[in-house]
Amino acid sequence: MKPKILILDDDIAILEMFKSIFAAQETELLLEKDGDSALRRIRMDRPNVAVVDINLPQISGLEVLREAKKLDPGLSVIITTGHSSTQFAIEAMKFGAYDYLTKPFDIKRLRNAIQKALECNLLNRKVRYTRDREQLLDENGDTDIMIGSSPEMIEIWKMVGKVADSDATVLIQGDSGTGKELLARAIYNNSRRKNRPFLPVNCAALPENLLESELFGHEKGAFTDAHTRRIGKFEQCNGGTIFLDEIGEMSLANQGKLLRVLEGQEFERVGGNETIKVDVRVVTATNRSLVNAVKDKRFRMDLFYRLRIISFYLPPLSERQEDIPLLVDLFVRQFSRKYGKPIKGVAPETLDLLLAHPWEGNIRELKNAISSSIVLCKGDYIMPEDLESIIGTGNQFGEIAEVNLQRSGDDYNAVFTQILQPVFDKICLRHKGEIYDHVTMGLEKALIAMALQKNENNQVLAAKILGISRNTLRDRVERFKIG
């Protein structure tokens, strides 16, 4: 018996495209243009896979999805849309969609998705269902704005929809400025705990003893300044969600106490003997490698595995450039309203400049750049000159060096200070404990490479210019693998 694939889309061209894709395959296509007809097909023909467009003229694709899962809980439904929407992706996965694809279709990816959905359905039909899964019907309230239409972000939205309603702990990893707290709030806002408290705590911002009191509270007289009893964050958000940012900075002692809360949902206040029972979901985030921290004995292995039951990785902005225009448009609208300036958007050459920038500070850096450029903008559109002083150009470091040398002779200290200052925090995070070696090695390698290039790889002349021996030069060339 041929597997059946239902296609629901009000666009005739899309239906014809599916006909051509599956013309040579051993499948039976069921083509429908409205939701009611599609639901009748599901009830009577029991298709294996349904590909449903979310934007339909009468009832939405999400409504069709909900009704279809009631009729046949094992049906593999793939939701499609021509508009990238964070919330639709999350909702689709919450209501039981197998996958979520955006138009225009990548044909290879579309084929693979349908094939996997078909395999999943055929496997599911071997299982006898005792009852339908209860569907979530509550409407979404306001959510924090976090957007993205890149394949990486679509996968993240789908995962949010799958895990939001569980109570599993979540670990979010990613560079600074990628939006880890916004993702944590998206998980919270789509969970059944969304009407209970959400409390964020930055573990790097508090010393060890204060962090313990912040999380677990303390009794009166527990330490010198403990004049009254304090209720900690875990008690405050009982029934809700706590977000522990920069979890990699937590001390080993506090890690042990957190592990106990995760395992038994209980703890004692500092200086107290009473065991407090709570029901709290824990979401954590870090911009550091916890794997390396475990290897270096700075993070407990048992806690690491307990935290990463569900794990997200937020890619840096440089790896999802297709999201930059979306973010730029969002921030322009936000800050135009905030500053009362009727800015319509960015000029094409400005967008080219934004797309070419590395954005080491990720979304936070982009947001600050757009905010500043709107303040400086004199016209209806943000021009390159409104941004160049903020994000710099390719010649920026050379101009800094020239200005400093003109002002203070051979003051290379001032030159390197201005070069390193904007990126020093990131260097500290990436090479903590090894900053000196990394920076001096990089400078030495750059100097030797430029000296060799200037002298057409003549090592005698390059060594003379640099003021080092030829043996030293040879050693560095070999060590740094120059040329």
Q: Is residue 146 part of a domain?
A: no
Write the CATH number for 277: 3.40.50.300
Claim to verify: residue 230 and residue 291 sit in the same structural domain: yes
- CATH number of the domain bearing residue 78: 3.40.50.2300
Both 170 and 302 in one domain: the answer is: yes
Residues 323 and 373 in one domain: yes
Residue 418 belongs to a domain:
yes
Residue 143 DSSP class: -
Same domain? For 467 and 442 the reply is yes
145 inside domain: no
What pLDDT shows up at residue 305? 94
Q: Is 131 contained in some domain?
A: no
**Is there a single domain that holds both residue 387 and residue 403?**
no
More confident residue, 207 or 125: 207
Assess whether 35 and 84 both reside in one domain: yes
Tokens of 161: 């929809």
Q: What is the pLDDT of residues 211-230, one digit of tens each?
A: 988 899 888 887 777 778 88
140 falls within a domain = no
| β 4-8/49-53 pair status | parallel
CATH number of the structural domain spanning residue 374: 1.10.8.60
Is the same domain home to 105 and 177?
A: no
pLDDT surpasses 50 at 454: yes
20 and 79 assigned to the same domain: yes
User: What is the mean pLDDT of the segment spanning 276-291?
Assistant: 93
Backbone angles phi, psi at 279, to 5 degrees: -130, 95
The CATH number of the domain holding residue 469 is 1.10.10.60
Q: What is the pTM of this model?
A: 0.63
| Stretch 448-465: mean pLDDT | 87
Beta partners for residue 214, in sequence order: none
**b or e along 354-388 (b: 16 or more beta carbons within 10 Å of the residue's beta carbon)?**
beebebebbbebbbebbbbbbeebeeeebbbebbe
- Residues 234, 169: one domain? yes
Residue 230 within any structural domain of the chain: yes
Q: Are 326 and 85 in contact (CB under 8 A)?
A: no
Q: Is residue 11 part of a domain?
A: yes
Quick one: tokens of 329? 């448009």
| Amino acid identity at 320 | R
pLDDT at 87: 73
Mean pLDDT, the chain, integer: 83
Residue that is last in its domain, among 299, 314, 329: 314
Helix (H) or strand (E) holding 6: strand 4-8
Q: Is 97 exposed, middle or buried (0-12, 13-18, 19+ CB in 10 A)?
A: buried
pLDDT of residue 299: 95
List all residues 6 or more positions away from 353 whose beta carbon is below 8 Å from its beta carbon.
384, 387, 388, 391
The domain in which residue 329 lies consists of: 317-391
User: Distance between CA atoms of 157 and 243, rounded to whole angstroms?
Assistant: 19
Question: Which among 466, 416, 435 has a CA at the least distance from the CA of 476?
Answer: 466
Q: Tell me: do 79 and 183 sit in the same domain.
A: no
- Give 483's pLDDT tier (boundaries 50, 70, 90): low
Counted domains in the chain: 4
Looking at the predicted structure, is the pLDDT value of residue 31 above 90?
yes
Same domain, 354 and 414: no
100 occurs within a structural domain: yes
Q: DSSP alpha helices (H): ranges in 54-126?
A: 61-71, 86-94, 107-124
CA distances in angstroms from 1 to 26, 27, 41, listed in the order given = 9, 9, 17
pLDDT exceeds cutoff 50 at 304: yes
Per-position DSSP letters for 273-318, written without gaps between them: -PEEE---EEEEEESS-HHHHHHTTSS-HHHHHHHTTEEEEE--GG
Cβ neighbours of residue 167 under 8 Å, at least 6 residues apart?
Answer: 281
Domain boundary among 124, 152, 187: 124
Q: Which of 73, 101, 124 is the last residue of a domain?
A: 124
CA distance 442 to 437: 8
Q: What pLDDT is attached to residue 209?
A: 80
Tell me: cis bond preceding 104? Omega within 30 of 0 counts: yes
Same domain, 31 and 12: yes
